[in-house]
Chains A and B, each alone.
Chain A
Amino acid sequence: MKEQLEAIQTEALERIAETNEMKELQAIRVTYLGKKGSLTGVLRGMGKLSKEERPVIGEIANRVRESITDAIDRKNETLAQQALEKQLEKEAIDVTLPGRPVQLGGPHLLTTIVEEIEDLFIGMGFEVREGPEVETDYYNFEALNLPKDHPARDMQDSFYITNELLLRTHTSPVQARTMREYEGSKPVKMICPGKVYRRDTDDATHSHQFTQIEGLYVDKDVRMSDLKGILDVFAKKMFGYDREIRLRPSFFPFTEPSVEMDISCKVCNGEGCSVCKGTGWIEILGAGMVHPKVLEMAGYDANVYTGFAFGMGPDRIAMLKYGVDDIRQFYTNDRRFLTQYHNA
């Protein structure tokens, strides 16, 4: 019987080793271990054995069963692994083919600039104010110390609709309106972005419609050095921490003293090049201390309150920052231009 068992083991293990098919392996399991299998058949004869032989043969039989089961399991695992590998190999793809595109739009370049400036000033405690694009002559000019016969407000320069209404030429009227709203009683700390309009012929550097951001800070004891400090923070954040600023005297009817702010040219680092026309400086914005008449007209006591204001053109800033050579690009909306500035 022992020989019989060992023969079964040898034969079974050989067949297991030889097979490469899951089905055959299953058949082998039935052939040897099934209810009608050869091992079961042999074990059925156990009853005929002596008491002494029974445990010995029993042990052998168990060992044979274990070894066959074990071999089948191992083979099963091997075959399953082989089958999976085959399957995965079949599933392989060309990963260099392009993926399914995600369709994204994007912001206009001017919006990007405006929001960047808004966020910068919000971080310094400024609020963002908006106002109408069709303005009254009063808010657009008179409230800003530009009385009716002022030479700087030629009809030729503005889009008038009637004698009293025009498309605003700057966003300063929003400042006047805000001060008026605050009734001369509390500090004003605001910026006002928006569209403005002037009677310019459209060309590479002029546009009859463009964008402006102005800022206003009115409080007790606001100093000109505060203006310089704020503008420095702005310039460094916007154009790089290695930029220097310079203030030059200038003239605006609504500020006194008035200045223009230049930043050192990024291209030549102040050495002088074609971008800065050899001066080493690039003009960025106009600013100044709010004219006492403007404060008074808005209801602020100019003996108590002082303030500064500044105004800049995001179009120009975008042109400088991104090297755009024609302001009309911002308004003709050529798809090839719009898609340049984001990954759409």
Chain B
Amino acid sequence: MLVSLNWLKNYVDIGTITPDQLAEKITKSGIEVEGIEYVAETSKSVVVGYVKECEKHPNADKLNLCQVDVGDEVLQIICGAPNISQGQKVAVAKPGAVLPGNFKIKKVKLRGIESNGMICSLQELGIQEKYVPKDIADGIFVFPDNATVGEDVTSLLNLDDAVLELGLTPNRSDCLSYLGVAYEVAAILDKPIQLPKEKVTASDEDAHDFISVNVANQKLNPYYGAFVIKNVQVKPSPLWMRNYLIAAGIRPINNVVDITNYVLLEYGQPLHAFDYDRLQSKEIVVRCAEANETIVTLDDQERKLSHEHLVITNGQEPVAIAGVMGGANTEVNEHTTTILLEAAYFNPSTVRKAVKDTGLRSESSTRFEKGVDPNRVNRAGVRACQLFEQYANGTVLSNAVVFDELDRTEKEVTINTLEINKRLGTMITTEEIGQILTKLRFQYEQIDDEFKVKIPTRRGDITIFEDMLEEVARIYGYDNLPYTLPNGASQAGALTERQQLKRQVKNYMQGAGLMETITYSLTRQDYVTKLISPEINNRNPVPVPLAMPMSEDHKYLRLSLLPELLHTVAYNRARNQTNIAYYELGSIFISTENKLTKQPDEQLRLSGVLSGQWIEHEWQQEKKAVDFFVVKGIIEGIFKFLEIPITFEQTKLTDMHPGRCATVLIDNQAVGFIGQIHPKLEKKLDLNETYVFDINLETVLEVFKNVPNYNQIPKHPSTTRDIAFVLNKTTLAGDVKKVIEETGAPLVKDIQIFDVYLGEHLPEDKKSIAYRLLYQDAERTLTDDEVEESYQSIITAVNEKFNAYVRS
């Protein structure tokens, strides 16, 4: 809502307060002033001039040579405007004048003839093009005849008016009108308010002889007032009205349109003027549209209607979509002489529906959608009639035709001083509360410290105690609220175990050299089915799309964090950032329904991508590219840190390198996977060799015990033995380790692999793996014989199981 301060001053005396100060006060007590603009940049030395003579420039077809009286002198000015003519009063920028944009006016010669100034258009005086009336868009502005020659145009054209831009929250639609803003400002400044006095001259003719009103659905249209105004002369509206409309962001058209717009802004009540003669009937019927009924609206578009839309008809066909837009067939034009003026209350939801279906949102529909003040509907109609009488030579017929089932009851809300203070933490006195209510101009009955407040219908947002609490608090001033801390019993705040573990996982990952990332939960269709962990895939998840996605890139709920993570790797690679070690903690959304009827299962995943160099070449270290075992080490490390035993199982997954991928298992249950992206996918996504991991953190959180077990520090010495087995190439190191573990138990406490060899000293199909075994017993020192016996049994077992022999 744009509020011209000059217009506002008609209703409330704002005194000498500056626009900035007023804006701050308004902002602090309830409505955010989003900006202060002036109608135009200031001009200097632009005055009203009288065009005494106007003739063609002898050397130029399109220029006119004018003699213009500016009061103290007559200036010879050359003007190119098509609408200039002798006898006009115009805005003259005298030599030395400065126009907006720091445009300085000097004496010049145009085609050999001197020109001493410039006759200005509104645009040249700084008014935005979109507010300049269309008929003078290409020409100069012409003042009414009563303008005083020599007078500065600044105030005459309201150019120095400050305009506040109000950012209205949905509850404050009362301030979609100047009267509403006036009430607000009067309350804030504690000033009186002057309301316009609607009054028309009585006429001999009765509107009932011209029109009847029939409302079919009083729920959707509880009030319809039809005023008839005869003998209307369509012409420009008075200058002051045009000025105010321009300041409020509305382009003046003609007096009829301008008056309805003016009253719309003044009262917040939309009005519609029909050309009575073009209505071609003597009745107004308000009803729901029939299926497939159409109307051509003012913008010459044909609109399809349905029974959910309320229409105004002439008894035959629609002439307006209620509250939204009038029809082209009854539009007021320059030949109009009789006006049928509609002042109505349309149900907000019906207007909202029509706006949604037609896409027509206007100053009128916005107000109907929020609900207009029931007590202003008729008054606004009368006010407009008054202005038609004054500025359009109209004759207002007596006794408007009114259908009226409108509820105008004022709601009552009871407040008391004790409860107000208890809720706010303040010590406001009963007297102060009374003063606040008076400032707000709310009627009340007071008994001791209790107030029965009658809520004016203009404030439809106030219905309960808390609404009144806010009114009192905001006028009292939030700055005056004390700072307190709650009195309630204190409780220990703490992270839950789950939250703590999440933080520990993050800390581990960061300590391990990975950067945390956050990617989008919504992904593309071709991503959503990719790289889903096997244990999720086993559940046959169905990708869940949005009903109305904003783009193809963010359409589906993700089933894996990896595709978007890979996307970030590609993004970085395109920017020469090739060494990536990222992890993310985030949810995936698993549903098996084709049409979602319940919330998907949201599962927290710990995922990561690694690519490029893990260790960069430096003077003291060789470079080392990320490989499978870098990733595996990170995953082994996190589970060791959490004291959760895991195993890895070689596996083949779509989109993963068939020889470099493993599932991760807890207790033989898959909880995720690690490995290299399939080179084909790497190529498609424009990636280098890239490794990923993806772990179901929910299971980890379930298994995790926050208090680690205590293990006695061994008192007796340990001893180590090394064995190198020659194995078939296809034999897995982990399988051999398992046999060693089983055979060596309970004496073998730890097994490490310290060498893997393939090469010239071994047959092609063989490899050698060297294990270091740690022998130890908690109770005693082991003898050489015991260890030797165990060692030999391990050799035998491995030999039997894998056809392996010890490498000498």
Measured CB to CB, the residues of A under 8 A from B are 97-101, 103-108, 110-111, 115, 118, 121-128, 130, 132-136, 149, 151-152, 155-156, 159-162, 165, 167, 187, 189, 195, 197, 199, 201, 208-209, 217, 219-226, 228-230, 232-233, 246-251, 256-260, 289, 291-292, 306, 330-336, 338-339, 344
Q: Which residues of B contact A249 (CB under 8 A)?
A: 29-31, 470, 473-474, 478
The distance in angstroms between the C-alpha atoms of A248 and B370, with both chains bound, is 23
Query: What distance in Å separates the Cβ of A88 from its nearest Cβ neighbour in chain B?
Result: 21
Q: Are A123 and B493 CB-contacts (below 8 A) given A105-B512, A230-B485, A335-B577?
A: yes
Interface residues of B in 616-632 (CB under 8 A from A): 616, 618-621
Q: Is B538 an interface residue (CB 8 A)?
A: no
A125 touches B520 (CB 8 A): no
B596 touches A161 (CB 8 A): yes
New A-B contacts (18) at CB < 8 Å, excluding given A103-B513, A159-B549, A257-B474:
A101-B618, A132-B602, A134-B600, A160-B546, A161-B544, A187-B489, A189-B493, A208-B554, A222-B486, A223-B486, A225-B424, A229-B484, A248-B27, A257-B470, A289-B423, A333-B518, A335-B580, A344-B515
Q: Are A228 and B483 CB-contacts (below 8 A) given A134-B600, A292-B466?
A: yes
Q: Which of B466, B484, B490, B596 contacts A226 (CB 8 A)?
A: B484
Closest-by-CB residue of B relative to A126 is: B493
Residue from the set B31, B369, B599 with the largest chain A CB neighbour count within 10 Å: B599
* 22 pairs from A and B in contact (CB 8 Å cutoff): A98-B619, A101-B616, A122-B494, A128-B496, A133-B589, A152-B170, A162-B595, A162-B597, A167-B522, A197-B522, A209-B522, A224-B423, A226-B485, A226-B486, A229-B482, A246-B479, A248-B27, A249-B474, A256-B464, A256-B469, A334-B572, A336-B575
A256 touches B470 (CB 8 A): yes
Q: Which of A105, A156, A187, A257 contacts B510 (CB 8 A)?
A: A105
Closest-by-CB residue of A relative to B23 is: A279
Q: Is B487 an interface residue (CB 8 A)?
A: yes
Q: Which residues of B contact A155 (CB under 8 A)?
A: 548
Q: Which residues of B contact A256 (CB under 8 A)?
A: 464, 466-467, 469-470
Q: Is B169 an interface residue (CB 8 A)?
A: yes
Q: Is B509 an interface residue (CB 8 A)?
A: yes
The distance in angstroms between the C-alpha atoms of A133 and B484, with both chains bound, is 34
Q: Which residues of A contact B28 (CB under 8 A)?
A: 246, 248
A228 touches B547 (CB 8 A): no
Q: Are A108 and B484 CB-contacts (below 8 A) given A121-B493, A160-B548?
A: no
Q: Which residues of B contact A108 (CB under 8 A)?
A: 515-518
Closest-by-CB residue of A relative to B469 is: A257
Closest-by-CB residue of B relative to A200 is: B550
Measured CB to CB, the residues of B under 8 A from A are 27-32, 169-172, 349, 352, 369-370, 422-426, 464-467, 469-470, 473-474, 478-479, 481-496, 499, 503, 506, 509-522, 544-550, 554, 557, 568, 571-572, 575, 577, 579-583, 586-587, 589, 595-600, 602, 614-616, 618-621
Q: Are A133 and B485 CB-contacts (below 8 A) given A128-B496, A256-B470?
A: no
Q: Which residues of B contact A101 (CB under 8 A)?
A: 616, 618
The distance in angstroms between the C-alpha atoms of A167 and B522, with both chains bound, is 10
Closest-by-CB residue of B relative to A150 is: B170
B170 touches A251 (CB 8 A): yes
A149 touches B464 (CB 8 A): no
Listed from nearest, the 7 A-B pairs whose CB atoms lie closest are A225-B425, A251-B169, A223-B425, A257-B470, A103-B513, A122-B493, A247-B478
Q: Which residues of B contact A97 (CB under 8 A)?
A: 619-620
Residue from the set A225, A291, A292, A344 with the largest chain B CB neighbour count within 10 Å: A225
Q: Which residues of A contact B487 (CB under 8 A)?
A: 221, 226
Query: What distance in Å separates the Cβ of A124 from its nearest Cβ neighbour in chain B?
Result: 7
The distance in angstroms between the C-alpha atoms of A333 and B586, with both chains bound, is 15
The distance in angstroms between the C-alpha atoms of A323 and B441, with both chains bound, is 45
Q: Which residues of A contact B600 (CB under 8 A)?
A: 134
Q: Which residues of B contact A160 (CB under 8 A)?
A: 546-548
Query: What distance in Å separates the Cβ of A316 from its nearest Cβ neighbour in chain B?
Result: 15
The distance in angstroms between the C-alpha atoms of A132 and B598, with both chains bound, is 12
The distance in angstroms between the C-alpha atoms of A204 and B493, with both chains bound, is 36
Query: What distance in Å separates the Cβ of B623 from its nearest Cβ neighbour in chain A?
Result: 12
Query: What distance in Å separates the Cβ of A176 from its nearest Cβ neighbour in chain B?
Result: 14
B423 touches A306 (CB 8 A): yes
A250 touches B499 (CB 8 A): no
B369 touches A128 (CB 8 A): no
The distance in angstroms between the C-alpha atoms of A187 and B486, with both chains bound, is 12
B425 touches A248 (CB 8 A): no
B602 touches A133 (CB 8 A): yes
Closest-by-CB residue of A relative to B616 is: A101
Q: Which residues of B contact A291 (CB under 8 A)?
A: 466
The distance in angstroms between the C-alpha atoms of A104 and B516, with both chains bound, is 11
Q: Which of A209, A223, A334, A339 contacts B575 (CB 8 A)?
A: A334
A125 touches B490 (CB 8 A): yes
The distance in angstroms between the C-alpha atoms of A161 and B465, with both chains bound, is 37
A199 touches B425 (CB 8 A): no
Q: Are A105 and B423 CB-contacts (below 8 A) given A249-B478, A256-B466?
A: no
B489 touches A128 (CB 8 A): no
Q: Which of B422, B478, B517, B557 contacts A248 (CB 8 A)?
A: B478
B488 touches A187 (CB 8 A): yes
B499 touches A128 (CB 8 A): yes
The distance in angstroms between the C-alpha atoms of A344 and B581, with both chains bound, is 11
The distance in angstroms between the C-alpha atoms of A68 and B57, with both chains bound, is 131
Query: What distance in Å separates the Cβ of B316 from its nearest Cβ neighbour in chain A?
Result: 32
A208 touches B170 (CB 8 A): no
The distance in angstroms between the C-alpha atoms of A34 and B547, with both chains bound, is 104
Q: Are A208 and B488 CB-contacts (below 8 A) given A103-B513, A223-B423, A258-B470?
A: no
A335 touches B550 (CB 8 A): no
The distance in angstroms between the C-alpha atoms of A197 and B520, with both chains bound, is 10
Query: What distance in Å separates the Cβ of A161 from its nearest Cβ neighbour in chain B?
Result: 6
B518 touches A225 (CB 8 A): no
B550 touches A106 (CB 8 A): no
Query: What distance in Å separates the Cβ of A48 from its nearest Cβ neighbour in chain B?
Result: 62
The distance in angstroms between the C-alpha atoms of A339 and B621, with both chains bound, is 22
The distance in angstroms between the C-alpha atoms of A106 and B506, with both chains bound, is 9
Q: Which residues of B contact A344 (CB under 8 A)?
A: 513, 515
Q: Which residues of B contact A224 (CB under 8 A)?
A: 423-425, 473, 481
Closest-by-CB residue of A relative to B496 is: A128
Closest-by-CB residue of B relative to A154 is: B356
Q: Which residues of A contact B620 (CB under 8 A)?
A: 97-100
Closest-by-CB residue of A relative to B24 is: A279
Query: What distance in Å separates the Cβ of B681 from its nearest Cβ neighbour in chain A?
Result: 19
B493 touches A127 (CB 8 A): yes
A257 touches B466 (CB 8 A): yes
Q: Which residues of A contact B549 (CB under 8 A)?
A: 159
Q: Which of A127, A159, A221, A333 contacts B517 (CB 8 A)?
A: A333
Query: What distance in Å separates the Cβ of B614 from its nearest Cβ neighbour in chain A?
Result: 8
